[in-house]
Chain A
Amino acid sequence: MSAIVLREVSRWYGNVVAVNDVSFEVGPGITGLLGPNGAGKTTLLHMMGGFLAPSAGDVRLDDGPTWRHPDIYRRIGFVPEREAVHAFLTGRQFVLASARLQGMSDPGAAADRAIAMVDLPDASNRAIGGYSKGMRQRIKVAAALVHDPPVLILDEPFNGMDPRQRLHMMDLLRSMAAEGRSILFSSHILEEVERISDRVLVVVAGRLAASGDFRRIRRLMTDRPHSFTIRSSDDRALARELLAGPEVEAVEVRDGMLTVRTGDYGALTRSVATAAQRAGASLLELRPADESLESVFSYLVRR
């Protein structure tokens, strides 16, 4: 069993701070690194993978630093986000080359095993140049796990996959985690992280905004105040009725638009129709005002 430990890690490029004073540990099981695009996820993964030097703090695999220590790759499998692979190789040649460069004693058997794990044997004799996005993603995973590493780092592994491939990849990660491996993957999609992670790290603007098990983070996200905008035939009457309900914290009528703030997402959506009925108003539009992932994240950061 292996673990990656980050202690007070920062990384900046010139004047731009990409990662700001982050500490955490990734142990056995599946850890999801969640954050919007540009939050510093790839920078963090690259530092963990030993491809980038931390500007401050240290990044260790077990007891040694990852930066400038190629030996760590015996214990780490890394799946980069970028799609580029040696397009002239067939899938099997690519995985086989990985096995050979790892110095494995039976590279052929290892390659076959890895290709079988990602369920790609049919395509493995075709050049990668002709692969779909999802197939490329899987052959990259096969190459990364060909030497059976205790730690697997994947940067946006579900990108470009169709739902079936996504489920298969999730099963694969789960089964590898069940064997005691430490798996870390990044994603900007909440549902992906929610479905398979034992533990979640939320990164926003280079900072660790939240970490822990998913249920806790989910609660933080759903318990936060939500805003809805409503258009109706009689905004003022509807506002009065809504304000009578305990779930509504504030209402505002401005520019022909009714904005409602609530601490209980579910209760509001259930009560709004009856409130409209009582007010004798027709609902024209009901829309969450701030449901983008970014707003969820920025709430977590402000908290």
Chain B
Amino acid sequence: MIQTLASITLRGLLNRRRTLLLVLVAALPVVVAGIYRLSEPGDAEALEFGGRLMADFGLGVLLPLVAVIIGTATIGSELEDGTIVYLLAKPIPRLLIVIVKLVVAWLVVVALVGPAVALAGLVATGGDAALAVAYGAASVLGALEYTAIFLALSLVTSRALVIGLAYVVIWEGVVAGLFAGTRIISVRQHAVAVADALGGEGAVTADLAVVAGVVVAAIVTLLAFALAVRRLEAVELRGDTA
């Protein structure tokens, strides 16, 4: 049952053209890193650039972009085209549906972002594996938090993609950068804090202690998860004419 649910979810995600486009987007930081190496930078400079590439582009742009597209599509696309009815018309606890879908979506986001971030860092720094692994690992945790948020969002509004993108740009991109107090609830800051703690402290440092970051991230993820379950339990299907 779980295997069937997971495989349909995965096939649904991979069959979307958007997902394939994301592979190209994910390749971008690696390409950028490669071009950067052509300029034959010094070691210190390369470390700085590699850190910025992974933190600002990897965790700051690529991760939320991939997570918002995958996260909102996981259940959202089925709600949109009506195929959700085939899932809802089964005697499966809604909690289980959300768990399986969240895990699948998370793994897809990780597969798209994690290797891209680590590889970009590895290339840019000329082989600093510790930094690359730290950021790759941070993207795995950030991916879970983002995906849970966007999956819940898609069960709250049918405009989840637009609202999710606005949140990424406005909150994660601008507000959390301007005001120190808001950083405690920024997914990007949580991820960077984890990267720091794992030995990635370099060009970009988090303004957040790693414990605070991980605790808040866990709370946010759980709340988003609980909200998604609640919403799925009460999701109403209306006829086309209603």
Contact surface of A with B, Cβ cutoff 8 Å: 13, 18, 37-38, 41-43, 46, 49, 51-53, 68, 70-74, 76-78, 80-82, 84-86, 88-89, 97-98, 100-103, 143-144, 155
Check A43–B82 contact: CB distance below 8 A.
Answer: no
Q: Could you give 6 example pairs across A and B, Cβ below 8 Å?
A: A13-B238, A51-B88, A52-B236, A70-B90, A70-B91, A77-B89
B236 CB, min distance to chain A CBs, angstroms: 5
B4 within 8 A of A: yes
Given A68-B233, A86-B8, A38 and B91 contact (CB-CB distance below 8 Å) = no
Check if B8 sits within 8 Å of A73, measured CB to CB. no
| Partner among A41, A73, A86, A144 whose Cβ is within 8 Å of the Cβ of B91 | A73
Q: Mark B56-94, 1 if CB is under 8 A from A, else 0.
A: 000000000000000000000000011101111111111
Complex contacts, A46 vs chain B, CB 8 Å: 236-239
Are B87 and A101 touching (Cβ within 8 A)? yes
Which residues of chain B come closer than 8 Å to A72, judged between CB atoms?
91
A18 CA to B88 CA in the complex, in Å?
22
Of chain A, the residue at the smallest CB distance from B83 is A84
The answer on a CB contact under 8 Å between B92 and A70 is yes
Task: Choose from B1, B82, B90, B233 the contact partner of A80 (Cβ within 8 Å).
Answer: B82
How many Å lie between the Cα of A98 and that of B83 in the bound state? 12
Q: Please measure, in the bound complex, the distance between the C-alpha atom of A13 and the C-alpha atom of B86, giving whole angstroms.
A: 24
The one of B5, B89, B239 that contacts A81, using a Cβ cutoff of 8 Å:
B239
Distance from B26 Cβ to chain A, minimum over Cβ atoms (Å):
22
Question: B242 contacts A70, CB within 8 Å?
Answer: no
In whole angstroms, how far apart are the Cα atoms of A219 and B144 in the complex?
63
CB-CB < 8 A to B94: which residues of A? 70
A97 to B5, CA, bound (A): 8
Interchain Cβ contacts within 8 Å, total number: 90
Residues in chain B near residue A80, CB distance under 8 A: 82, 85, 237
Q: Which of chain B's residues have a CB closer than 8 A to the CB of A82?
A: 82, 85, 240
Given contacts A98-B86, A101-B92, contact A84 B81 (CB under 8 A): yes
Whether A85 pairs with B92 at a CB distance below 8 angstroms is no
A81 to B236, CA, bound (A): 15
The docked-state distance in angstroms from the alpha carbon of A80 to that of B88 is 12
Question: Which B residues touch A42, using CB under 8 A?
Answer: 238-242
Q: Which residue on A lies nearest to B234, using beta carbons?
A: A68
Nearest CB of chain A from residue B96's CB, rounded to whole Å: 10
**Cα distance, A89 to B94, chains bound together (Å):** 23
A92 to B235 Cα, complex, angstroms: 28
B237 touches A51 (CB 8 A): yes
Known A80-B82, A84-B82; judge A43-B90 contact (CB<8 A). Answer: no
B241 A37 Cβ-Cβ under 8 A: yes
Task: Determine if A102 and B236 form an interchain contact, defined as CB atoms under 8 angstroms apart.
Answer: no
- Asked if B12 is an interface residue, CB under 8 A from chain A, the answer is yes
List, in ascending order, chain A residues with CB within 8 A of B87's CB: 101
- In the complex, the chain B residue whose C-beta lies closest to that of A70 is B91
B240 touches A52 (CB 8 A): no
Neighbour of B11 across the interface among A81, A88, A102, A155, CB < 8 A? A88
Tell me the B1-33 residues at the A interface (CB within 8 Å). 1, 3-5, 8, 11-12, 15
Given contact pairs A80-B82, A82-B85, A86-B83, A52 touches B237 in the complex (Cβ within 8 A): yes
**Docked CA distance A86–B233 (Å):** 22
